[in-house]
Structure 1
Amino acid sequence: MIIELHLLQSFPTSNLNRDDLGQPKTVTFGGALRGRVSSQSLKKAARSLFPEVGLAEGETAWRTKRLLLQAAHELTPGEGEPGEEEHAIVREALQQMGFGLDTNDLTEYLLFVGTGAVDDLAAFCRDHRERLLTDAEARKKEQNSKGAPKKKKATDEAKKVADRILDARRAVDIALFGRMVADNKDFNVDAASQVAHALSTHSVASEFDFYTAVDDLKPDDEAGADMMGTVDFNAACYYRYANLDTGQLRHNLFGKEAKLDEDDEDLLKRAVSAWLNAFIRAVPSGKQNSMAALTMPDTLLAVVRDSGTWNLANAFLDPVPGKGVMGTSTERMWQHFTRLRSFYGDEEIRTVAMASLSGDLDGLQVPQGEQVGNLRKFTEAVLGGAVRG
């Protein structure tokens, strides 16, 4: 079963997701420059909301390079800072497990791991503290002329702990968004959710705000600003699209052949609900303290289907002109969906739910059975359709 979510969301003065020059990201689409928000930015914003939409801490994941630093803290008694001994023990454990480390004791790349990974690593280090310390001292003596330690074959127990650290089951973030481990493809996870870059339904031009600041303690007889600069921004109505394959989600959370018990079924339902509610509410954090572009989607369209996926971005291949951008965008999106439905058929479609704060759904001839009046009814229609499937 696949759930598709299509959103139209207008942001005022904002720089939600900036490029390497500090400017709002853009893309040329249909021959016109559009505002863009990357899928990575939207996924991060959604992940940050998971604890607020029904997921417990142990059901989410961390993206981190700091496994060593966190585990060393757990090995340190009391509230003190870990010393070199604790660092050496965890460093040796990670190296024996096959994790590469840089000179700052960070893993070579970001690892997407369940929140229990640090506890598993610390427990292994605690149980084998003396051996790991001895191995660490021996490794240090065996360093080659460049200072790189010689690799040792991982023990079976170290491999088992590495497997636990990288176990993605029951970690909803990893199940939804997937994971790639460069050194070992066995730990790769195919994402259950695909997320598109949001793009503006109309053409945009980046602008900039010139600002100044004055020293509050400056003498009254001294004029002029003490700081000045510019901040880039735009304002745009974005089309956002994401989908979720509930079958892949189930596989990622519990394994291909797993038989689900009552707790498993509950987690699966909450994971789907969290995905839906988090993406509806997700707003990137870029420049929010200075611009507070904290809007909600205006138009929401969801489709529950057996197969197939339709990104509706081509509804805006010709940029929406002039005023009334949200109303025209809503009309364009629904008409494009209706044409696809008519041409390709809708046998695989189980449920359609559409809501709009400002759009005239009756005027767009949206069937009454596919109109919903508020967010609660919208999510109930989507989740109910997915469960029935």
Structure 2
Amino acid sequence: MKLFEVHILQTVAPNNLNRDDTGSPKDALFGGVRRARISSQAQKRAVRVAFKEQALLSPAEQAIRTKRMLEELVRRLEKQGHPQEKGISAVENALNAVGFGVKEGQTEYLLFLGETELDRLAEAIGTHLEALASGKAKGKKQSEVSKEVKEDLQRVLDGGKAVDLALFGRMLADRPELGVDAAAQVAHALSTHKVDREFDFYTAVDDLNPKKDTGAGMMGDVEFYSATLYRYAVVDLDKLLKNLQGDKELARKGVLAFLEAFTLTLPSGKQNSFAAHNPPLFVAFRAGEGLPRNLSTAFERPIRLWEDRALSELSVEALLREWSKFDRVYGPLNPEWKAGVNLTEAKVDGFPVAGSFGALKEEAEKALEELLGG
């Protein structure tokens, strides 16, 4: 397996970046003690948002996840010059024809389709507009349209070279053959040490409250914690290349965009209350051929403060000890490229350290050129 891994240690000030259904910050038991946790799904969502907001990928290289595919395709048909009423009927029957059941104007589950895929699907619907608009299976999962029309519709559902779709995959329960196996796996972030939740009791003042009426206009509490987090992700380069239909240049661009977005973004929960904007203190990549390694076992025994050394510093040293231990027993990747950036006082002797994150990306790009070829 050709792979590209990212290992991050990130100390985050008091925060509630990723909360559960009760509003509490997510956590998990690991090594017998409670740890701070940020879910993989929340991290992947932050990456997709960064792809868009930081323009790391062009719109054509991204995908859309929505139940509102009907109105989106109708909008694209209108831009082609087709009337709205006929477009609604044609799109509904087209979506039913390919197994995406439509109910009350929305698909029955979230669809994840590339921008290019959507454009080509709209074009195919426009080509067969009359046949689809007169379909008789409105509201059914399989519309009564000709085999030729169905094949034309299905032919465009190939992922459309959307990088986020290629990385994170899609599952279509009713049409498994149109699914895409994810090329990236993202671990739940865990604190390297034990955490205890804390509570912030807050009040709000009613500005128009008469002075004679004492008391707060509103009060409540919010849970939070602070933590040094270990974050890990791995990209299967062969699968990514397959999902992107063999486009090596786009695969390289996609992995570098993923490296930047995954490193520099976190979920945004309660940031207006906590402003926990703390960049990572240690980032490393590992690329080559072999098996992936999640090094969270470095923290199975929770890190404890000693000799006035920072948790982040101790965590970096524990991570690199675990890295060396696995190399010694199982061997490194063959071939292997690795590099990192380190903002802590940790001893990183023997590990190649770049002078900046930009320099680290340059090292990653060189590794990807070797692994993916020209």
TM-score greater than 0.5 by the shorter chain: yes
| Letter of the structure 2 residue corresponding to residue 168 of structure 1 | G
Q: Which residue of 1 aligns with 2:108?
A: 108
Distance 2:194 2:65 in 1: 35
Residue 216 of structure 2 corresponds to residue 230 of structure 1 = no
Task: Compute the displacement of 1:131 (Å).
Answer: 4.1
Alignment partner of 1:326 out of 308, 312, 315: 312
Contact 1:53 1:274 in 2 (8 A): no
For residues 168-203 of structure 1, the C-alpha deviation after alignment (integer angstroms, 9 at most, x for no partner) is 141111111112111122112221111111000011
Distance 1:308 1:107 in 2: 39
Query: Secondary structure at 1:373's aligned position in 2?
Result: coil
Q: Which residue of 2 aligns with 1:34?
A: 35
Q: Which residue of 2 aligns with 1:354?
A: 340
| Letter of the structure 1 residue corresponding to residue 243 of structure 2 | N
Distance 2:148 2:243 in 1: 25
Q: Which residue of 2 aligns with 1:24?
A: 25
Alignment partner of 1:341 out of 300, 315, 327: 327
Q: For 1:298-337, list aligned pairs within 5 A.
A: 298-322=281-305, 324-337=310-323
Alignment partner of 2:62 out of 60, 77, 94: 60
Bigger drift between 56-65 and 321-330 goes to 321-330
Distance 1:189 1:285 in 2: 28
Distance 2:151 2:46 in 1: 33
Contact 2:4 2:235 in 1 (8 A): yes
Query: Secondary structure at 2:303's aligned position in 1?
Result: coil
Task: Compute the displacement of 1:157 (Å).
Answer: 4.1
Contact 1:113 1:165 in 2 (8 A): no
Distance 2:222 2:152 in 1: 47
Residue 73 of structure 2 corresponds to residue 71 of structure 1 = yes
Distance 1:366 1:151 in 2: 60
Q: Which residue of 2 aligns with 1:292?
A: 275
| Letter of the structure 2 residue corresponding to residue 37 of structure 1 | I
Task: Compute the displacement of 1:247 (Å).
Answer: 1.5
Contact 1:169 1:252 in 2 (8 A): no
Query: Secondary structure at 2:214's aligned position in 1?
Result: coil
Could you state the TM-score of these two structures normalised by the residue count of structure 2? 0.89
Q: Which residue of 2 aligns with 1:382?
A: 364
Q: Which residue of 1 aligns with 2:193?
A: 202
Cα–Cα, structure 1 residues 302 and 170, in superposed 2: closer, same or farther, change >3 Å?
same
Q: Which residue of 1 aligns with 2:15?
A: 14
Distance 1:199 1:171 in 2: 29
Alignment partner of 1:270 out of 250, 253, 270: 253
Residue 163 of structure 2 corresponds to residue 172 of structure 1 = yes
Q: Which residue of 1 aligns with 2:350?
A: 366
Residue 241 of structure 2 corresponds to residue 250 of structure 1 = yes
Cα–Cα, structure 1 residues 382 and 224, in superposed 2: closer, same or farther, change >3 Å?
same
Residue 47 of structure 2 corresponds to residue 46 of structure 1 = yes
Query: Secondary structure at 1:48's aligned position in 2?
Result: helix
Contact 2:50 2:265 in 1 (8 A): yes
Q: Which residue of 1 aligns with 2:92?
A: 91
Query: Secondary structure at 1:236's aligned position in 2?
Result: strand
Distance 2:270 2:358 in 1: 30
Percent identical pairs in the alignment equals: 40
Contact 1:101 1:108 in 2 (8 A): yes
Task: Compute the displacement of 1:153 (Å).
Answer: 3.6
Distance 1:178 1:241 in 2: 18
Distance 2:258 2:111 in 1: 21
Task: Compute the displacement of 1:290 (Å).
Answer: 1.9
Distance 1:94 1:150 in 2: 8
Contact 2:137 2:144 in 1 (8 A): no
Query: Secondary structure at 2:101's aligned position in 1?
Result: coil
Bigger drift between 66-75 and 12-21 goes to 66-75
